[in-house]
Chain A
């Protein structure tokens, strides 16, 4: 099969075209029978990259053929340009729609679902929807799926979303485009949480504080903690995929490494998914996220010293004995 994919589709922001779902669905079926060539071709690459515990249930070639006006670049058939990574834990209610939007983000895309501790058939649904599914029986813990998904990703751009939040492809595309087109390494959701109040949620506070410590107060409360965000392969390799399991640590590493970290578009994830926010208010998770920020700071201190570069040159401490 001599299929053609895009490297870039400047005009292919023409999500409209890609959303011609009946066609692409049809094509998906044709190109990706369970026993199809695509699966076999991929297996070489993937078997090396994947753990026994997290085997792929199915794989699927990039959907929908390019439309006329777009720049076409030949890419090896099995290497997608964009990898969408979706950690999933019991997200049966939303996962199918989330995957559908993920596939519509770019013509050359793979969707990786890291299902962990799911007992509601999420993994099976994801697999049916065409995603590469890495399945773990037990829960991996908060955000570990992102790191594992990133390790398995083959794209040049890695887009991270959650399985419980349906964000239309049209809103996800700017993150991918920021990396492909604008050379941004880390495209953040420009969402700082509700801050027009006297007192904010502890996670919102921690994000703002970390950005101050990173000497990027302009980032306000934006962070790799919030989805959606997209990273270039270069960014992932610079910070290390494993850091993505502790998003504030990944965030700190990205900024300190001098990567281009830019908030690109605001998606109010607070409003989008109230149940999730309610869950995040539960103290233990809140504590973990605050702890993540401390872990990030600890990394910075090890790298930059006890005061992280904020020196007190004029303080004559010897008088204070």
Chain B
């Protein structure tokens, strides 16, 4: 707590985010029973000069709604039942009208200072500003299944430079153009949105580096190697690849032009 308070007071001295004239930024916050951390998250967002803040409450049964209400100017979308992973992002994106939309989770606080680069990158022309988690990853042999697939998706899309950076993890920011081009609905399956963005020629870059790898709150359903959430995210990556394969062919840009496969059939016939 002590260090947190310190960090916050130092943030307060920083100058606010300067956006180009007429450029408006929004934030979408997803929350599922985060009454403890949600106010901390919203406090940080308040330091950014945001036009809109949308909080999507996903089947919250605690005081999250009350906490969100206590912040002025926050739009709350409340779902009594859980709408499931990442669906709130699609809902939030649809509700915003700003040129830039920042996505964060309500379950842990990220200092405003660390969020600024994502908004700034989009202000400078990036369509999809991703969180670069590379510095926080262990050696490859210790990567979890999900991280391996994140990197494989980028590799398959011809963007190995993105390493394991993914729309699955927050924070990230999208341009209005990206949301419109991809379609907000696709954001409910983040890797699919990422694949669509890259395949569509949008500008996808890493914009900042926030440690969400070790900071991520442990929950019953996201602990362990073969947990439910991990399986969901693995499936998201399959769906993402399928999405781009439908247009770009099974091998995407990795054509196999050198194999003489017909020689095999001929060899069998004879």
Contacts of B187 in A (CB 8 A): 320
Residues facing B in A38-52 (CB within 8 A) are 48-52
Q: Is A273 an interface residue (CB 8 A)?
A: no
Give 1 or 0 for each of B233-270: 1 = CB within 8 Å of chain A CB.
01110110110010000111111101111011111111
Contacts of A245 in B (CB 8 A): 259, 261, 264
Bound together, the chains give a CA A311 to CA B260 distance in angstroms of 37
Q: Is B160 an interface residue (CB 8 A)?
A: yes
Are B148 and A288 closer than 8 Å at their CB atoms? no
Contact of B270 among A51, A138, A144, A204 (CB under 8 A): A51
Residues facing A in B130-178 (CB within 8 A) are 134, 137, 139-141, 145, 148-149, 151-152, 155-156, 160, 163
Are B251 and A294 closer than 8 Å at their CB atoms? yes
Are A316 and B87 closer than 8 Å at their CB atoms? yes
Are A53 and B266 closer than 8 Å at their CB atoms? yes
Contacts of A192 in B (CB 8 A): 141
Contacts of A141 in B (CB 8 A): 256, 258-261
Are B270 and A315 closer than 8 Å at their CB atoms? no
Contacts of A50 in B (CB 8 A): 267, 270
Q: With A152-B267, A202-B160, A213-B234 known to touch, is A320 a contact of B254 (CB < 8 Å)?
A: no
Contact of A290 among B254, B259, B261, B269 (CB under 8 A): B254
CB-nearest residue of chain A relative to B266?
A51
Contacts of A143 in B (CB 8 A): 259
Q: Is B114 an interface residue (CB 8 A)?
A: no
Are B238 and A213 closer than 8 Å at their CB atoms? yes
Q: Is B83 an interface residue (CB 8 A)?
A: yes
Bound together, the chains give a CA A208 to CA B164 distance in angstroms of 14
Bound together, the chains give a CA A48 to CA B268 distance in angstroms of 9
Residues facing B in A184-210 (CB within 8 A) are 192, 195-200, 202, 204-206, 208-209
- Would you give the shortest CB distance from B205 to chain A, in whole angstroms? 18
Bound together, the chains give a CA A195 to CA B143 distance in angstroms of 10
Bound together, the chains give a CA A144 to CA B260 distance in angstroms of 7
Bound together, the chains give a CA A245 to CA B152 distance in angstroms of 22
Bound together, the chains give a CA A53 to CA B268 distance in angstroms of 12
Bound together, the chains give a CA A196 to CA B83 distance in angstroms of 39
Q: Is A94 an interface residue (CB 8 A)?
A: no
- Would you give the shortest CB distance from A209 to chain B, in whole angstroms? 4
CB-nearest residue of chain B relative to A146?
B264
Bound together, the chains give a CA A124 to CA B113 distance in angstroms of 70
Bound together, the chains give a CA A171 to CA B209 distance in angstroms of 46
Q: Is B122 an interface residue (CB 8 A)?
A: no
Are A307 and B238 closer than 8 Å at their CB atoms? yes
Q: Is A136 an interface residue (CB 8 A)?
A: yes
Q: Is A301 an interface residue (CB 8 A)?
A: yes
Are A290 and B155 closer than 8 Å at their CB atoms? yes
Bound together, the chains give a CA A241 to CA B254 distance in angstroms of 23
Give 1 or 0 for each of A278-318: 1 = CB within 8 Å of chain B CB.
00000010011011111101100100001111111011110
Are B155 and A206 closer than 8 Å at their CB atoms? yes
Contacts of B253 in A (CB 8 A): 287
Contacts of A148 in B (CB 8 A): 263-264, 267
Contacts of A205 in B (CB 8 A): 140, 148, 151-152, 155
Bound together, the chains give a CA A309 to CA B251 distance in angstroms of 21
Contacts of A147 in B (CB 8 A): 264, 267
Q: Is B86 an interface residue (CB 8 A)?
A: yes
Contacts of B188 in A (CB 8 A): 315, 317, 319-320
Contact of B140 among A197, A242, A309 (CB under 8 A): A197
Bound together, the chains give a CA A292 to CA B247 distance in angstroms of 17
Q: Offer 15 A-B interface pairs, CB within 8 angstroms, sorted by A.
A: A49-B270, A51-B266, A54-B267, A144-B260, A147-B267, A198-B139, A204-B140, A212-B145, A242-B264, A294-B241, A306-B239, A311-B232, A315-B86, A315-B87, A315-B189
Q: Which 8 A-B pairs have the closest CB atoms?
A: A291-B254, A310-B235, A141-B259, A315-B84, A209-B152, A320-B90, A298-B250, A320-B188
8 additional contacts (CB under 8 A) given A141-B260, A294-B241, A298-B250 = A50-B267, A195-B140, A199-B140, A205-B151, A213-B234, A284-B258, A294-B252, A307-B238
